[in-house]
Amino acid sequence: MIDLFRKVFVFPRASNDSYVILKPKPEQPLQSFTICLRSYTDLPRPYALFSYATKAYDNEILLFKPKPGEYRLYVGGEFVTFRVPENRMDWEHVCAGWESATGIAEFWVNGKPLPRKGLRKGYSISAEAVIILGQEQDSFGGGCELPESFVGEIADVYMWDHVLYNMESIMWGGYFSHYIFGWNNLHYELVGDVFLKRKLLF
């Protein structure tokens, strides 16, 4: 495990075989979660940022951007859509949260909440998962497709087993413990053409 402060994962080209595997996994089924990450890209086409696949659903949890100005959050194979401000060629910090008890899904962009949606009330997310960045898994641990691959930079990746609400603090580097994995002690594996580089300061 390593502290990735001021580091980024660089995905320099489209592919079907380049991604980052995140090694920590939940110890038990998830009844709620929060995922946060920061991305930087100029892609106008669809791409996947975060893919959590199980044997039951390849899209058990998926953070997917089908086009500029829109995100989809999948839970248990179903999704809700969030309209977001157009990206003006800058880093975009997003957080997604969901709870089983109500089915409410939340989405935050650059520290600001969007109108909440609902899906999969009462559902339980399996802890037996393969978790990757930069690709969408179409099968358990594989089936990635080039047209949905991410090209750009990803940083500040965190996942918790509960819903958080102070996203503005997280966006500016606030510390929240008890996460499943976090950027300051991440256990990961680079597969294919993905590189760990210093973040370029703007």
- Model pLDDT for residues 19-74, shown as the tens digit of each residue: 999 998 888 999 999 999 999 999 999 999 999 999 999 999 999 999 999 999 99
Instruction: Flag whether pLDDT at 157 surpasses 80.
Output: yes
Give the domains, in start order, of the chain with CATH numbers.
7-193 (2.60.120.200)
Whole-angstrom distance, CA of residue 70 vs CA of residue 91: 16
Average pLDDT over residues 71-81: 97
139: which DSSP letter? B
**Predicted pLDDT of residue 176:** 66
Q: Residue 102: count other Cβ atoms within 10 Å of its Cβ.
A: 13
Confidence of residue 174 (pLDDT cuts 50, 70, 90): low
Instruction: Flag whether pLDDT at 184 surpasses 60.
Output: yes
- % pLDDT > 90, the chain: 77
Q: Which helix (H) or strand (E) holds 58?
A: none
**Predicted pLDDT of residue 42:** 94
Whether the CB-CB separation of 63 and 73 falls below 8 Å is answered with: yes
Taking CA atoms, 194 is separated from 10, 39, 49, 133, in Å, by 6, 14, 13, 10
Whether the CB-CB separation of 12 and 178 falls below 8 Å is answered with: no
